[in-house]
Amino acid sequence: MLGLMGAMEDEVRLIRADLGEVDELDGPCELLRGRLDGTPVVLAKCGIGKVNAALAASAMVQAGATCIVFTGVAGAVAPGLKIGDVVVGNKFQQHDADDTAFGNPIGTVPGEPPFWEPDPRLFDVVFGALRALEEPRGHHVVAGPIISGDQFIAQAEKVAWLRTTFGASAVEMEGAALAQAANRLGVPFAVVRILSDSADGDAVADFPAFLNDAAHRGRDLAHALVKQVLRA
């Protein structure tokens, strides 16, 4: 069963509205089981931050999800990416994990791999669906590293550090935690981020203005995925 996750109300509200035969499930977050275009899905609004994403992933698997796709917004880090472009994560790290005192690279969680990667087959399905949807609209769809931390980045200096240190394409607050949890749970995952801001001094103004557009594009992706993911 396809699992769909978003952190905020605007990232899930239109998908929720399109669900049929909805059951509200007990869990650590808003958790629904229903049908999207006749296909069974689990939808979670996990809440913001790494712990919430990990808790939601576990709850979704218990509810029957056999793969999880996160859709939401993020700040652009890599040069050349614009607001509205889409990053599909091909590598995940937590930029606020710091075990350097013990000789480990920045971004490494002790006892965990240095980074996480998505399931290749699910990644290909998601990437292909996004290109079909977004490129006719004039948006670039790229594969790139996504970094996560419990911080809303809104400083150009921090963006420059993230770019230099991690080679990141986008920064957000949940994706790497989902990657870590899904890895432990043995569940394929993918993370899609529509770039809502440049994670710099204008981020606070750009971010809320973009959410409605991102909500509609996230819904379009969800409908495209139910036609493909479970057949892949």
Q: What average pLDDT does the segment 96-104 reach?
A: 88
Looking at domain 2-231, its CATH class is alpha beta
pLDDT band at residue 61, thresholds of 50, 70 and 90? very high
CA distances from 43 to 23, 147, 172 (A): 10, 23, 20
Beta bridge partners, 146, equal: 92, 170
Question: What's the pLDDT at 208?
Answer: 67
Cα-based distances in Å from 89 to 33, 208, 212:
26, 22, 22
Q: Are 222 and 71 in contact (CB under 8 A)?
A: yes
Residues annotated as catalytic are 11, 197
* pLDDT value at 170 more than 90: yes
% residues pLDDT > 90 (the chain): 71
> Higher model confidence: residue 208 or residue 21?
21
Domain ranges within the chain, ordered by starting residue: 2-231
Q: Report pLDDT for 3.
A: 97
Q: Residue 42: what are its φ and ψ, rounded to 5°? A: -115, 130
Is the separation of the CB atoms in 44 and 30 below 8 Å?
yes
Q: What is the pLDDT of residue 41?
A: 97
Q: Residue range 183-202: average pLDDT?
A: 83
User: pLDDT tens digits for 112-129?
Assistant: 999 999 999 999 999 999
